């Protein structure tokens, strides 16, 4: 116990006593971090999907949609959160809105790329079978665009987890709050622990989404297994 | 309109631009730190990426580096530097962080640009008797140029953004106008600082797009 107390006093980088005594604080910050990220990516997806459909429909929309999302991405995060301040005040909605705007760039581009890569024959075949435009989208185009869409979701999620920390400027930054609070007293253990948790969170989220992607697109694995079997057969 | 009007007033008030914490000095710091970091990052990343691309090795490194760069929060890295002894080294911690975050986009894009050069083109060049060096300077580099410039633009945007976040850990730069505004509950100043940062970022992007067109090695041939 004495040794444990010591590491808080001597301000060590790694401190077991810190993890024990502040576990509640760390859990709360992590939970806030996760829900800010999750809400942002989900809203981003809900906004990006119609935008991508609009951009695909005509060149007239494609230019402004892609141009505007690219310009938004250029604005530094601290400036983005500050520009939204008069609209939202000091609220989590401000951070979520900023993060949604950033995620749009990646999500719109990936959804659009995915939809445009759907083979023409697949669409023709579905139309020939009497599929209407809505059923064509949901049952043919969306599943085939899923790998590109999920790749976009993974990139957006990982960068959103990193960007959420900047929300600590208004006290709504999840683990970023702990980093910001620790700075004035040079509290090494807290800065390091929160930073490591942040990176861990990004890695875990990326792996989870990879799992979701595999569940949603089982046919890509079947194809991979079959080509393996083919090469084995040829070797024999 | 209220806050925006007041922000405009803040921006057009001469007193806010002068002095140690004035906008002019902060802009100077921002440009100095960004410029030094971008130059350093180019000096580190481009030779490595171009060499690896030329010999066609190290793809996994180039791709993974840029994924890792995305997952690590800039704010966390700056904060780690500021609680270490580096905090007394002036601009050094900011510059190191900026270089760390500018290297991945530079490296990945330059490498991908080099490896995406058509094999039949490089083989034709070799067939014409070009040496490795000639192939690199006269074939691979001009063809990889668009991707190298894309990387440079991403890196520049990243550098300007990171230099802003440096203010959150007490380092200089335009972000300080924003954080100072937050500390004194001066919303017009916060918005004015944010506008300055956003305009600077967009200007840097626009200048690099212009530079890209001007320097493109295939430009003359395309118009001819």
Q: What is the mean pLDDT of residues A169-198?
A: 89
Asked if pLDDT for residue B142 goes beyond 50, the answer is yes
Q: What is the mean pLDDT of residues A206-230?
A: 77
- B4 vs B37, more confident: B37
**Pairwise CA distance, residues A206 & A218, whole Å:** 18
| Average of per-residue pLDDT values in chain A | 86
Give residue B169's pLDDT. 86
Do the beta carbons of residue A102 and residue A160 sit within 8 Å? yes
**Pairwise CA distance, residues A102 & A166, whole Å:** 13
pLDDT > 90: percent of chain B = 15
Cβ of residue B98 closer than 8 Å to a chain A Cβ:
no
**What residue segments make up the domains of chain B, in order of their start?**
19-174
Asked if pLDDT for residue A235 goes beyond 80, the answer is no
Do the beta carbons of residue B163 and residue B34 sit within 8 Å? yes
Return the H-helix or E-strand segment holding B223: helix B219-223
Give residue A5's pLDDT. 61
Q: Which of A88-102, B48-62, B109-123 has the lowest mean pLDDT?
A: B48-62
Q: What is the mean pLDDT of residues B52-70?
A: 81
**Pairwise CA distance, residues B124 & B139, whole Å:** 10
Give residue B224's pLDDT. 43
Q: How far apart are the first and last CA of chain A?
A: 65
Give residue B221's pLDDT. 57
How deeply is B186 buried, as exposed, middle or buried, from its count of CB atoms within 10 A (0-12, 13-18, 19+)? Answer: middle
Asked if pLDDT for residue B170 goes beyond 80, the answer is yes
- Which CATH code is given to the segment(s) B19-174? 1.10.3720.10
Per-residue pLDDT tens for A27-56?
999 999 999 999 999 999 999 999 999 998
- What ipTM was reported for this prediction? 0.82
What is the four-CA torsion angle of A142, A144, A146, A148, rounded to 10 degrees? -120
CA distance B163 to chain A (A): 9
**Structural tokens at position A196:** 């490591």
Q: How far apart are the first and last CA of chain B?
A: 51
Give residue B91's pLDDT. 85
Asked if pLDDT for residue B14 goes beyond 90, the answer is no
Asked if pLDDT for residue B20 goes beyond 80, the answer is no
**Pairwise CA distance, residues B19 & B111, whole Å:** 44
**Pairwise CA distance, residues B180 & B75, whole Å:** 17
**Pairwise CA distance, residues B217 & B214, whole Å:** 9
Give residue A40's pLDDT. 96
Q: Which of B157, B92, B82 is nearest to A191 (CA)?
A: B82
**Pairwise CA distance, residues A70 & B74, whole Å:** 20
Do the beta carbons of residue B45 and residue B62 sit within 8 Å? no
**Structural tokens at position B41:** 């990052």
Place of tokens 């989404």: A209
Which among A15, A75, A78 is the top mutation candidate for probing chain B, defined by the most B β-carbons within 10 Å of its own β-carbon?
A: A78
Q: What is the mean pLDDT of residues B206-222?
A: 79
Instruction: Provide the 3-class DSSP secondary structure of residue B142.
Output: helix
Confidence of residue B1 (pLDDT cuts 50, 70, 90): low
Q: Which residues of B are less than 8 Å from A161 in CB distance?
A: 71, 73
Place of tokens 């930054």: A173
Pairs of residues, one from chain A and one from chain B, whose beta carbons lie less than 8 Å apart: 131
Query: With b meaning 16 or more CB within 10 Å and e meaning fewer, what string describes A54-65?
Result: bbbeeeeebeeb
Per-residue pLDDT tens for A118-131?
999 999 999 999 99
Confidence of residue A112 (pLDDT cuts 50, 70, 90): very high
Q: Which residues of A are less than 8 Å from B168 in CB distance?
A: 78, 166, 168-169, 180
- B62 vs B29, more confident: B29
Cβ of residue B27 closer than 8 Å to a chain A Cβ:
no
Per-residue pLDDT tens for B85-128?
877 778 888 899 899 889 988 998 899 888 888 888 888 998 99
Asked if pLDDT for residue B70 goes beyond 70, the answer is yes
- B6 vs A30, more confident: A30
**Structural tokens at position B161:** 């953004």
CA distance B103 to chain A (A): 17
Which of A82, A159, A191 shows the shortest C-beta gap to B190?
A82
Ordered domains of chain A (ranges, CATH): 15-226 (1.10.3720.10)
Cβ of residue B115 closer than 8 Å to a chain A Cβ:
no
**Pairwise CA distance, residues B56 & B123, whole Å:** 14
């Amino acid at each position: 116990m004495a040794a444990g107390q010591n590491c808080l006093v001597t301000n060590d980088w790694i401190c077991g006593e810190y993890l024990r005594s502040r576990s509640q604080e760390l859990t709360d910050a992590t939970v806030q971090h996760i829900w800010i990220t999750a809400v942002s990516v989900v809203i981003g997806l809900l906004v990006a999907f119609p935008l991508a459909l609009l951009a695909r429909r005509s060149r007239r929309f494609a230019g402004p949609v892609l141009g505007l999302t690219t310009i938004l991405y250029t604005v530094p995060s601290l400036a983005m959160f500050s520009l939204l301040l008069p609209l939202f005040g000091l609220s989590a909605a401000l951070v979520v809105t900023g993060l949604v705007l950033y995620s749009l760039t990646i999500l719109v581009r990936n959804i659009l790329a995915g939809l445009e890569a759907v083979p023409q024959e697949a669409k023709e075949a579905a139309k020939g079978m009497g599929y209407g435009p809505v059923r064509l989208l949901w049952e043919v185009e969306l599943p085939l665009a899923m790998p590109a869409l999920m790749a976009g979701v993974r990139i957006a999620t990982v960068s959103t987890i990193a960007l959420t920390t900047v929300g600590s400027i208004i006290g709504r930054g999840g683990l970023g709050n702990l980093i910001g609070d620790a700075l004035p007293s040079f509290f090494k253990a807290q800065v390091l622990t929160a930073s490591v948790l942040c990176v861990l969170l990004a890695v875990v989220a990326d792996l989870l989404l990879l799992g979701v992607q595999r569940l949603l697109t089982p046919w890509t694995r079947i194809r991979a297994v079959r080509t393996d079997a083919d090469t084995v057969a040829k070797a024999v | 309109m209220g806050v925006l009007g007041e922000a405009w007033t803040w921006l057009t008030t001469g007193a806010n631009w002068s002095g140690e914490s004035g906008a002019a000095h902060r802009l100077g710091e921002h440009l100095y730190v960004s410029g030094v970091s971008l130059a350093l990052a180019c000096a580190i990343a481009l030779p490595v990426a171009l060499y690896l691309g030329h010999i066609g090795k190290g793809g996994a490194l180039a791709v993974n580096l840029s994924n890792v760069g995305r997952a690590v929060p800039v704010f966390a890295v700056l904060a780690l530097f500021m609680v270490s002894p580096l905090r007394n080294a002036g601009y050094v911690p900011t510059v190191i962080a900026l270089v760390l975050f500018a290297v991945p986009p530079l490296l990945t894009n330059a490498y991908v640009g080099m490896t995406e050069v058509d094999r039949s083109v490089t083989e034709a060049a070799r067939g014409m008797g070009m040496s490795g060096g000639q192939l690199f300077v006269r074939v691979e580099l001009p063809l990889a140029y668009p991707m190298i410039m894309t990387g440079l633009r991403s890196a520049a945007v990243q550098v300007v953004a990171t230099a802003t976040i440096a203010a959150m850990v007490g380092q200089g730069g335009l972000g300080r106008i924003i954080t100072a505004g937050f500390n004194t509950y001066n919303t017009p100043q916060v918005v004015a600082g944010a506008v300055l940062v956003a305009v600077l970022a967009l200007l840097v992007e626009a200048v690099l797009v212009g530079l890209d067109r001007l320097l493109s090695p295939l430009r003359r041939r395309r118009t001819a």
